Amino acid sequence: MKQECFFAGDAGLEEILQDFLATSSSALADHRAGTDFIISNQPDNSVLFAPEIDFYCRHTLDDTAGQADTILAMYRSLLDRFDFSKETAVQQVIGNRILIISEQEEDGIKQELAAAGFAVFQLLAADFIKLNGEIGSFSVKAKGGGLEPDITFDQIIWRNVPNKFLYFKGIHNLTADSSQDIISTIAATPGKINIGRKVHYQRGICLYNTSKNAACSKCISTCSFGALYKTENGIGIYHSACTGCGECVSVCPTGALDPTWLPRDSFSQVCSHFAGKAVLVIPENINPGGLELDLPTGLAPLVVKSGLVFDENYLLTLAGNTCKEVIIYGVADDNLLASAANFVNQIYQKKFGRKIIHICHDEAALRQVLAGLGNTDFKVQPPKLPAAGFSKRAETAARLQLLVGNDDLGLISSAGHHLPFGTIVIDPDKCTLCLACADVCPTRALSVHAEDNSLRFTASLCIQCGCCSLTCPETGCLSLVKDGFALEPKSFVPQIMAQDELFTCTECSKEFAPKKAVEKIINAMSSKFGSDPVKLKTLSCCPECKGKLMVEQQILSQQNLDGRP
């Protein structure tokens, strides 16, 4: 750690920290020689600059020992974020093809761009149908012969840009910006640019890709920047349009979208360094140096790219690791974040009598929360989770189960929040245990138990996607109930929803299928097979005996045709 992190500050703090961090005195010679560190509170000698450390040092009310402890926690957390980051960038070649979309001829800007060496095309806005791609590879579908087929464009100048394309890199708004400014921007665009990947997509757990019945596309409807779109194989991402706000991550019920800068599978490790400390979350677009306020003892700042990424899973993870209150500052008024915070606060209010998540949109609200910050220890035993392969909902359920313990804390209302929690109702008299619902359940909330031939349901794992109800072949058998989530032990344990004895094969006496399912088939097919006693008999047989009877019948039929006895 001493070779990776640099700290410059109060002499007393440096003396305490010099055994763990490189400091301005111990590393002065190396610093002058140009040695780069990974994390530093100085802007010119590291890969990652951490101004929140100076902000903390200037404003904290902690004593020197407390400051040293919190500073080390911040450096360790930052190092983990650096190590676990999945941020990558892809190089995109930018050529000279420019498309102008307008309601009128734009001869002036066309001539200037052509004179500067650009290949310029124009499309009347009335002929525009569809846009795909991103900077360096835009493709436009137009009416009639407005554009040559299969041609791509590197950048687009658009008068009256539709809102969903406003934030695309490489699309220039001719209504808002002057033609000279746009031409200057286009001319200054390098031939190659790096486009960062701020969101990672896991196709294998995406509801849109794996469960077509659910028809989920919440991420697309949530994205304000048009960065997400549907493909034949799942969800596509225009990374140049993505701002990394994290709202798609928050709304995704399965965790198929993951922020590359704060991966879900490493967040618990990142948070673990703040155990016993309240945390002030600050978006990186806010300069913490501009905040003039006292930080209560035992509070540590945590700077993130966007506070909107904090869904119920992130909040439960942060709160569960710190066991102290969490403040999220400087975020826009957002329904998803508010719903997640409300959900977590309802639980903590019922369990501890005090809410744990505070959302502060401005400095006045932040001051008020800091002044009333409590010293409650929200002690919860952390769940034992596997290192990888644990889904968003499974981890959320594990954390909720430890919070609830053996208590019955009542119902959390679903009114006013967007979180996919609820239960289902199955009519056991109508259920034939065909198990189609369990086959399509993406989170294994519905499970099959061969030991007692039962279908069971775990409420804490249900994301209310509706795959089960859409798949169930029995009318009025299965329905979703979205009235809230019961904070009680049985919500975390598979509960029997339907059960049946097994049907015994009339030939070999082997049990092979649910009795109700076989009897339903017998009742439905008996009238069709009434004149064929062998076929009627097969309805009551296991697959092996059924095949045997059919082969015997075929042999007998062939013998009769041949005239053999």
Q: Provide the terminal-to-terminal Cα distance of the chain, rounded to the nearest Å.
A: 91
Q: Which of 492, 496, 495, 257 is nearest to 397 (CA)?
A: 492
Q: Greater confidence, 494 or 24?
A: 494
CA 311 – CA 313 distance, rounded (Å): 5
Torsion on CA atoms 206, 210, 216, 217, rounded to nearest 10: 50
Span 156-181, pLDDT tens digits: 999 999 988 888 999 999 999 999 99
Mean pLDDT of 263-277: 95
Per the structure block, which two tokens stand in for 356?
Answer: 């744990």
Residue where the block lists tokens 């969903």? 164
Q: Please check whether the two domains, 92-195 and 198-259, share a CATH topology.
A: no
Q: Greater confidence, 332 or 398?
A: 398
Residue where the block lists tokens 């464009």? 153
Span 132-144, pLDDT tens digits: 899 999 999 998 7
Q: What is the number of other CB atoms lying within 10 angstroms of the CB of residue 530?
A: 10
> Which pLDDT value is given to residue 32?
43
- pLDDT category at 463 given cuts 50, 70, 90 is very high
> Which pLDDT value is given to residue 356?
96
Q: Greater confidence, 270 or 561?
A: 270
pTM of the model: 0.86
Q: Identify the CATH number of the domain defined by range 198-259.
A: 3.30.70.20
105: left (phi over 0), alpha (psi -120 to 50) or beta: beta
Q: Which of 5, 32, 34 is nearest to 21 (CA)?
A: 5
> Which pLDDT value is given to residue 523?
85
Concatenate the DSSP letters of all residues of 505-562 into one string: PTTT--EEEEHHHHHHHHHHHTTTSTT-HHHHHHTTS-HHHHHHHHHHHHHHHHHHHH
% of residues, the chain, pLDDT over 90:
66
Structural domain spans, the chain: 1-49, 50-86+262-371, 92-195, 198-259, 423-499, 505-562
**Phi, psi angle pair for 446, to nearest 5°:** -100, 130
Q: Which of 221, 217, 306 is nearest to 254 (CA)?
A: 217
Q: Greater confidence, 332 or 407?
A: 407
CA 67 – CA 60 distance, rounded (Å): 8
Cβ atoms of 496 and 455 closer than 8 Å: yes
Q: Given this structure, which CATH class describes domain 92-195?
A: alpha beta
Q: Greater confidence, 145 or 391?
A: 391
Mean pLDDT of 355-359: 96
Count CA atoms closer than 13 A to 106's CA, side-chain side.
Answer: 25
Q: Which residues of 60-83 are buried (b: 16+ CB within 10 A; e: fewer)?
A: bebeeeebbbbbbbbbbbbbbbee
Mean pLDDT of 369-398: 81
Beta-bridge mates of residue 228: 237
Task: Give the range with max mean pLDDT: 30-39, 385-394, 521-530.
Answer: 521-530
> Which pLDDT value is given to residue 364?
94
Average pLDDT over the chain reads 90
Please determine, for residue 521, whether its predicted confidence score (pLDDT) is greater than 90: no
- pLDDT category at 29 given cuts 50, 70, 90 is very low
Q: What is the DSSP letter of 251?
A: H
Torsion on CA atoms 281, 286, 287, 292, rounded to nearest 10: -70
Mean pLDDT of 308-325: 95
Q: Are strands 199-201 and 511-514 parallel, antiparallel or unpaired?
A: unpaired
- pLDDT category at 507 given cuts 50, 70, 90 is confident
> Which pLDDT value is given to residue 306?
94
Please determine, for residue 417, whether its predicted confidence score (pLDDT) is greater than 80: no
Q: What is the number of other CB atoms lying within 10 angstroms of the CB of residue 345?
A: 18
Please determine, for residue 257, whether its predicted confidence score (pLDDT) is greater than 90: yes
Mean pLDDT of 359-386: 86
CA 376 – CA 325 distance, rounded (Å): 8
Q: Identify the CATH number of the domain defined by range 423-499.
A: 3.30.70.20
Q: Which whole-number Å values give the CA distances from 452 to 195, 251, 504, 514, 515, in the listed order?
A: 54, 37, 15, 11, 13
H/E stretch holding 343: helix 335-352
Please determine, for residue 30, whether its predicted confidence score (pLDDT) is greater than 60: no
Mean pLDDT of 350-360: 95
Radius of gyration of the chain (CA): 31
CB-based contacts of 36, cutoff 8 Å, min separation 6: 45, 46, 47
Please determine, for residue 11, whether its predicted confidence score (pLDDT) is greater than 70: yes
Mean pLDDT of 24-31: 56
Q: Are strands 155-158 and 171-173 parallel, antiparallel or unpaired?
A: parallel
Span 171-222, pLDDT tens digits: 999 999 999 999 999 999 989 999 999 999 999 899 988 776 667 889 999 9
Specify the 3-state DSSP secondary structure of 141: strand
Cα 209 to the chain's mean position, in Å? 15
> Which pLDDT value is given to residue 562?
57
Q: What is the DSSP letter of 60?
A: B
Please determine, for residue 533, whether its predicted confidence score (pLDDT) is greater than 60: yes
Sign (positive or negative) of CA dihedral 243, 256, 384, 407: positive
Specify the 3-state DSSP secondary structure of 300: strand
Please determine, for residue 2, whether its predicted confidence score (pLDDT) is greater than 80: no
Please determine, for residue 555, whether its predicted confidence score (pLDDT) is greater than 60: yes
